Amino acid sequence: MKKLFVGIDVSKDVFDFCVINENHQVLVSKGKFPNSIDGINDLCSVIDSFKDYEPWYCLEHTGHYGALLSSEFTKRNLCYSLINPLEIKLSIGIARGKNDVIDAYRIANYGVVNTFKLKKFILPTEHIQKLKALMTIRDGYSKILVQLKNSHKAFLILGETIDLKLQIIENELLIKNQVLAINKVEKEMNLIIKSNLELTEKYDKVTKVIGVGAITAIKCIIETENFTKFVDGRKFSCHCGLAPFEYSSGSSVRGKTRTSVLSNKSLKSIFYKAACTAIQHDPQLKNYYSRKLQEGKHKLSVINAVANKIVLRVFAVVKRNEPFVKFSA
């Protein structure tokens, strides 16, 4: 059966779409529907009219804007792919101009050119989706808490010369409420973990690794979809931005080996914190850290290496049925 590629550019209220076949022939150049159930029904009606084609939907991974489309496509058992926007941008080459209609065509065209790379997206389980949403809320609350604490420090300094007692009390109350809100979200995430046997099993294993706390473990579970999306620790290290890459070309270009800027900054940050904790409490990693510093390695480079070791330990304990064993120095 001939293939049909539907490129969808998603925004908050509407989505634009373009339909082309495997020969790059444009069958629908401009289409727009509201980003709602009715809009998705209208889109499916248009695509169903091409009875001799097997459709494949392609859309950028735009987070919550595309959540409804993903949910509905999964319910209808449609073949669709969520593609990294940067991957589409780099595949275009030199391009001038940009609007939603052009973007929809470019996404569809990407599907035609990269047919062999397209993978059917599998929506995470409801537990993982809920954990992800709660973690996003928690991260937002944490940023607000940092801002409030920084403001509180400034108020205390100014309070030495200006009467700001009322504002300081109000700010302290805001900080207290923010902490309570964060704790409430964390408790809800823990309840979700405990309600699912598979999540509980992985969570208990991962938190046994020295340096890995509750939030680090939950973030790993979310990002790996309970260790099904990533099964190799080295690939996950690369995803987190912890794996170093060589930078050289020919006989003249010899740059420093460094980590990529294309990474999950949140995961990288939390594994750095885990590494700092592990250095204090794990004799083996503490000895490794001290030895590398004595060899003249940069402090951040060594912490990055320790963080990488923690990722590998996490995946090791997940794969086997044995618990993590603390080694001596």
Q: What is the per-residue pLDDT for 327?
A: 63
Residues 52 and 11 in one domain: yes
Residues 283 and 177 in one domain: no
Q: What is the per-residue pLDDT for 328?
A: 59
Indicate whether 267 belongs to any domain.
yes
Residues 147 and 253 in one domain: no
Number of domains in the chain: 3
Domain boundary among 195, 226, 241: 195
Domain boundary among 150, 167, 195: 195
Indicate whether 209 belongs to any domain.
no
Residues 314 and 238 in one domain: yes
Indicate whether 325 belongs to any domain.
no
Task: Give the CATH number, domain containing residue 43.
Answer: 3.30.420.40
pLDDT digits (tens, 9 = 90+) for 21-67: 988 898 988 899 999 999 999 999 999 999 888 999 999 988 888 99
Domain boundary among 140, 162, 195: 195
Residues 174 and 102 in one domain: no
Indicate whether 47 belongs to any domain.
yes
Residue 67, amino acid:
A
Residues 130 and 110 in one domain: no
**SS3 string of the chain?**
CEEEEEEEEECCCEEEEEEEECCCCEEEEEEEEECCHHHHHHHHHHHHCCCCEEEEEEEECCHHHHHHHHHHHHHCCCCEEEECHHHHHHHHCCCCCCCHHHHHHHHHHHHHHCHHHCCCCCCCCHHHHHHHHHHHHHHHHHHHHHHHHHHHHHHHHHCCCCCCHHHHHHHHHHHHHHHHHHHHHHHHHHHHHHHCHHHHHHHHHHCCCCCCCHHHHHHHHHHHCCCCCCCCHHHHHHHHCCCEECCEECCCEECCCEECCCCCHHHHHHHHHHHHHHHHHCHHHHHHHHHHHHCCCCHHHHHHHHHHHHHHHHHHHHHCCCCCCCCCC
Q: What is the per-residue pLDDT for 249?
A: 73
Could you give the angle at which helices 126-158 and 214-224 cross, rounded to 10 degrees? 140
Residues 141 and 221 in one domain: no
Residue ranges in the chain whose pLDDT is less than 70:
251, 325-329
Range of the domain at 105: 2-117
Tokens found for residue 171:
């700010």
Distance CA 277, CA 266 (A): 17
